[in-house]
Structure 1
Amino acid sequence: MLDIPSRVRVHVERLLAAQNDMGVCDAFEQYAPVGKPDTMNAPHPPKVAGIDSTVPSPAHTVAPAPAAPDAPTAPSATGPGTAPGAVLQDRLAGWVSDLTTLHELTERLARTDSLDSALKETLHAGAALVGARRGLLVLEPGDGLGPDTTIGLGLGRADLGHIETVPRSSLPYGRILDGLPGGDGEIAQPDLFAEDGLDPRHREVAARLGYAASYALPLSPEGAGRLGAAVWLYDEPAEPVERQRHLVGLYARYAAEHLARLVEVERTRACMATIAEELLPSRLPRVAGVQLAARHRTGPRGGGDWYDALPLPDAALGLAVGSVTGSGPSAIAAMGRLRASLRAYAVMEGEDPVAVLSDLELLLRLTEPARSATALFAYVEPALRKITLAGAGHSPPLVIGERRTEFVETSLSAPLGMLACWEAPSVELTAAPGETVLLYTDGLLQRTGDPVDRAFARLHAAAAGVPRALRTDPGALADHILRTVLPNRLDEADDTEDVVLLAARFE
């Protein structure tokens, strides 16, 4: 085998040579001009990674022809200590190193599972390949369906704002995304300030931000229109060499395909989140004596958690939370049907929560026998601060007040659709003035990652520790509990579990 430096440790067959326009064999021919060797004396390169040893020997390995007796002696091309083929080995090692770097960068990009992280990784890897320190990536799908965003590397929001004040047609990403002349491929501006036709505003912004050259590439998936454009900025006049352009071009083609898949995923998530939000109440009713607030966090695939609050006859109020098994569009659709049915039953017989859930269970068992759900319905009489509730496999409500923070003791019951006939007794409680009753779904507990008992303890501690100033606002109270139970923005993270909180504060 060739004596490739030990820092290049990679199985060549795993490299991305198949994705390159120039493989290792082509590197032999380009970087080692072929001469006519002496078949007896010329050394032959051994086989490496499937390279045939019959490849003609490069010129620098050819045995020298006998010189004329009176001819001057030319200096040796290789030093006294240089082994034959060393230059070839160095060049091959360089190509293996480049391909290894490209392989590692594409692997890192493939591990990104969100559009935002993929955009940042694409911009950072491209900067490393072209030798730039700063840059920006503009995502603007050509179909106009979004999402549209701009991210920067080494550029703050104010810097990006300055760049956006430059006429779009004079910026390289503008020419690429708008299909202007010269925007079909790479755009290199090795010395911005030496260009005669540079827009005055562009010259001013470049001087303000301290960049003197740029290199831009389109991000275009195979068989699709423009997805976006990446621009890398140099502090001094410069441009990438041919080798760097080749590598970053290969990387950009792979990145465009990966970003296109994540764009579709992001669109699907946004669509399901919109549908789920539209199936939930657009606003909560205003009822004398009760303040209401709700918080809803949807998982990336869309879940079946829901809540409802509706005015009922005799100045009463109905509160409900629930969760349908499964995720995705089917769970969202089932959630919408279940919530609509519960509203109808609540209007007809809301004063009896057990009857409401019994009818809901019968409907679920007859129409969707393969699905189950948990639910909790509360019939509220604000004037008396009286609550009558029943639950089906659901977590107990939490009463939060100045003198007590405790879970409501509800009877143990199975989820809807699990038994041939569901039945459970109702529970009555009276809230004191200023107390808040919190209804929630199991997702709040499951997102903690703790065992059930520890998750309940965490929720109780968060509720007991709500500052006094926040207790008068059910929305602020719900936000505090979310941040405390799910710290480090876990409530906003992409999780398979939905989270619903419905808070009712009694005056």
Structure 2
Amino acid sequence: MNAPHPAKVAGIDSTVPSPAHTVASAAASTSPTAPHNAPDAADVTDAPGTPCAPGMLLQDRLAGWVSDLTTLHELTERLIRTDSLADGLQELLRAGAALVGARRGLVALEPADGLGPETTVGLGLARADLGHIETVPRSALSHGRILDGLPVGEEGLARPDLFAEENLDPRHREVAARLGYAASYALALTAEAGDGAGGTEAVRRAGSADVGRLGAAVWLYDEPAEPDDRQRHLAGLYTRSAVPHLTRLLEVERTRASMATLAEELLPSRLPRVPGVRLAARHRTGPRGGGDWYDALPLPDAALGLAVGSVTGSGPSAVAAMGRLRASLRAYAVMEGEDPVAVLSDLELLLRLTEPARSATALFGYCEPALRRITLAGAGHSPPLLIGERRTEYVETSVSAPLGMLACWEAPSVEVQAEPGETVLLYTDGLLRRTGDTADRAFARLHAAAAGVPRAARQDPDAVAEHVLRTVLPDGKAEAESAEDVVLLAVRFD
């Protein structure tokens, strides 16, 4: 009577190699030369001498497959929870190291479409270590061969004993000895057609897998070693499932970089030099690009126009609106900058006619450096901060609505008279909102930061702006991703 076929189990991929602890038993039980009544190699059980039933062997093998698939599922779940390219690459390295039994590794990101970004991320390797590896000729490194488009196969490129290789590059030998690794295993990170990510369209058009290459990952062993067939297979499955997510993160990173570049290009490339006053600025853009801006432009009669503002919304439309608003304000400032109220009135009319669904806050000042005087008009904007040796105080400005909120904007101007060596700090509300505090506490925090500027730093507006930014937003909040843009414009009178 024919033996029954093993039942199919849903979710089990029979192409996954058997776990290491069942491979030998499977081979022994199917060998044509084995005696008919010889015990299987897997007959080492808790009850010696008891033959292993066929069902137990199958159950053991299925348990191994389920364990492998569960591991892959858990690692993939951890990866897809990452929301930045840097975190995704680090998670890829950690998961790959666990699968192939390594302790260290690196990912060289080098998209084949040439659009960048290009970077190297290490696991268990300091920046200096990565620098040493970069001194090795590219063709001598496993991941360098992958990046150069040389074929390595789906199972990756293993170099089980680097120091035993006769043709090992001398510089590679030196670096490997210095960093203490003796073997490596590398895999290509390639987007396949049909992944649905933006970068794979080029793959479909060109018909070349290399066009969809994101980079290469390599794991380093402290001793001569290489992953077995099962480890290679699992690592390959994991990287193939990880690449679509990494591709999406790459597209997000490119979009963020493009938005940040666009926003920066719409702002002054350099601040003007005007006798009697020195300027410094800080600008931080959110990941989607925002509408916060600043400006400083020379005006007739040795005057200076100063402006900060914020357009509602984020993303490309807000950045474009910010650019249009800033360009218009520059034109109005040249024509009637000595009257800041007129400048903002014209800007408000333009905003209502061209951007009816958008509002904006703005602060414009007509600065006369020779008199150390600024005439200010604000539209829904936070008051400037005056920083000096004997005083640190907010400038009293009239309460007014943002531009575009009323049928006709109007507010009186105020004059700020500064003493020699004092600094007037203009800023946007994003600086306050990034703190996460209430408005009162955020204003108090900003005041305390300005009052705490070291005496030596008060002579330099750049140092003042940097101190205030790092004090109000400590622990990396100034550089962390946030939906809020930040603008600081420091004006120091000589």
Same fold (TM > 0.5): yes
What residue number does 1:490 align with? 477
Partner of 1:266 in structure 2?
253
Counterpart code for 2:68: D
2:95 corresponds to which residue?
125
| Counterpart for residue 330 of structure 1 | 317
Change (3 A) 1:92 1:374: same
C-alpha spacing 1:351/1:21, structure 2 compared with 1 (3 Å): farther
| TM-fit CA distance, 1:366 | 0.4
Alignment counterpart, residue 112 of structure 2, candidates 122, 137, 142: 142
How far has the Cα of 1:33 moved from its partner? Answer: 5.8
Q: CA deviation at 1:271?
A: 1.2
Q: What is the rounded CA distance, in whole Å, between the counterparts of 2:15 and 2:478 in structure 1?
A: 48
Q: What's the counterpart of residue 97 of structure 1?
A: 67
Give the share of equivalent positions with the same residue, in percent. Answer: 77
CA apart distance, 1:222: 1.3
- Tell me the number of residue pairs that the alignment of Structure 1 and Structure 2 aligns: 460
The one-letter code of the counterpart of 1:105 is: L
* Preserved CA contact (<8 Å) 1:32 1:88: no
Which residue of 392, 395, 413 corresponds with 2:382? 395
- Is 1:169 matched with 2:162? no
* CA deviation vs aligned residue, 1:284-340 (integer Å, no higher than 9, x gap): 111111111111001110001000011111211110000001111111111011001
SS in 1 for 2:76: helix
Q: Which ranges in structure 2 are unaligned for 5 or more consecutive residues?
A: 1-8, 31-35, 194-202, 204-211
Query: What is the Cα deviation at residue 260 of structure 1?
Result: 1.2
> 2-side partners of 1:211 and 1:291: how far apart?
53
Deviates more, 1:79-88 or 1:331-340: 79-88
1:176, CA displacement in angstroms?
0.8
8 A contact 1:212–1:233 mirrored in 2:
yes
CA deviations 1:174-231 (Å, max 9, x no partner) are 1111112546751011122222332233223222222221111000011242110011
Distance 1:500 1:209, change over 3 A: same
Deviation (angstroms), 1:157: 2.4
**Which string of whole-angstrom CA distances, capped at 9 and with x for unpartnered residues, describes residues 416-447 of structure 1?**
01111111111112111111110000000000
Code of the aligned partner of 1:417: G
1:335-392 deviation digits (Å, cap 9, x = unpaired): 0110010011111111111111010000000011011100000111111111111110
Query: Does the Cα contact within 8 Å between 1:292 and 1:474 map onto a contact in 2?
Result: yes
Give the aligned partner of residue 22 of structure 1: 15
Provide the alpha-carbon RMSD of the alignment: 2.8
User: 8 Å contact 1:185–1:218 — kept in the other structure?
Assistant: no
Distance 1:198 1:316 in 2: 67
**Residue of structure 2 aligned with 1:468, choices 443, 447, 455:** 455
What amino acid is aligned across from residue 479 of structure 2 in structure 1? E
- Measure the CA separation in 2 of the matches of 1:491 and 1:291: 23
Residue 15 of structure 2 aligns with an amino acid whose one-letter code is M
Please say if 1:305 is aligned against 2:273.
no
Match of residue 432, structure 2, among 445, 456, 468: 445
TM norm structure 1: 0.85
What is the deviation of 1:256? 1.5
The answer as to whether partners of 2:156 and 2:232 remain within 8 angstroms in 1 is no
2:184 corresponds to which residue?
214
Q: Deviations over 1:246-278 (max 9, x none)?
A: 111111112211111111111111111111111
Match of residue 417 from structure 2 = 430
Alignment of 1:28-427 (within 5 A): 77=43, 80=47, 84=53, 85-182=55-152, 186-223=156-193, 224=203, 225-427=212-414
Residue of structure 2 equivalent to 1:3: none
Instruction: Work out the CA distance in 2 between the residues paired with 1:464 and 1:93.
Output: 66
Whole-Å separation in 2 of the counterparts to 1:339 and 1:258? 38
Secondary structure (helix, strand or coil) at the match of 1:136 reads: strand
For residues 39 and 280 of structure 2, the distance between their equivalents in structure 1, rounded to whole angstroms, comes to 94
User: In the alignment, is the contact (CA less than 8 A) between 1:316 and 1:382 conserved in 2?
Assistant: yes
CA contact (8 A) 2:25 2:40 kept: no
Over 4 Å off, 4+ runs: 23-27, 29-35, 72-76, 81-87
Larger Rg: 1
How far the C-alpha of 1:113 sits from its partner, in A, is: 1.0
Compared CA separation, residues 359 and 269, structure 1 to 2 (3 A): same
Partner SS state of residue 371, structure 2 = coil
Determine the C-alpha separation between the residues in 2 that align with 1:248 and 1:95: 14
Give, in angstroms, the shift of residue 80 of structure 1.
3.5
Would the alpha carbon gap of residues 358 and 88 (structure 1) be closer, same or farther in structure 2, given more than 3 Å must change? same
Q: Secondary structure in 2 aligned to 1:490?
A: coil
**C-alpha distance 109-21 of structure 1, shift in aligned 2 (>3 A):** farther
Distance 2:41 2:346 in 1: 100
Q: Name the CA distance, whole Å, in 1 between partners of 2:416 and 2:14.
A: 75
1:34 Cα deviation after fit: 12
Note closer, same or farther for the CA distance 1:431–1:196 as it changes in structure 2 (3 Å cut). Answer: same
Conserved? CA contact 1:133–1:234, under 8 Å? yes
Q: Distance in 2 between matches of 1:26 and 1:184?
A: 20
Q: Which segment drifts farther, 484-493 or 238-247?
A: 238-247
Asked if structure 2 preserves the Cα contact closer than 8 Å seen for 1:296 and 1:499, the reply is: yes
Deviations 1:84-126 (A, max 9, x none): 5444444333322222221111111111111111111111110
Relative to structure 1, is the Cα distance of residues 455 and 73 closer, same or farther in structure 2, using a 3 angstrom cutoff?
closer
Is the partner of 1:155 in helix, strand or coil? coil
Q: Distance in 1 between matches of 2:451 and 2:42?
A: 86
SS at the partner of 1:319? strand
* Alignment gaps of 5+ in structure 1: 1-11, 36-57, 60-64
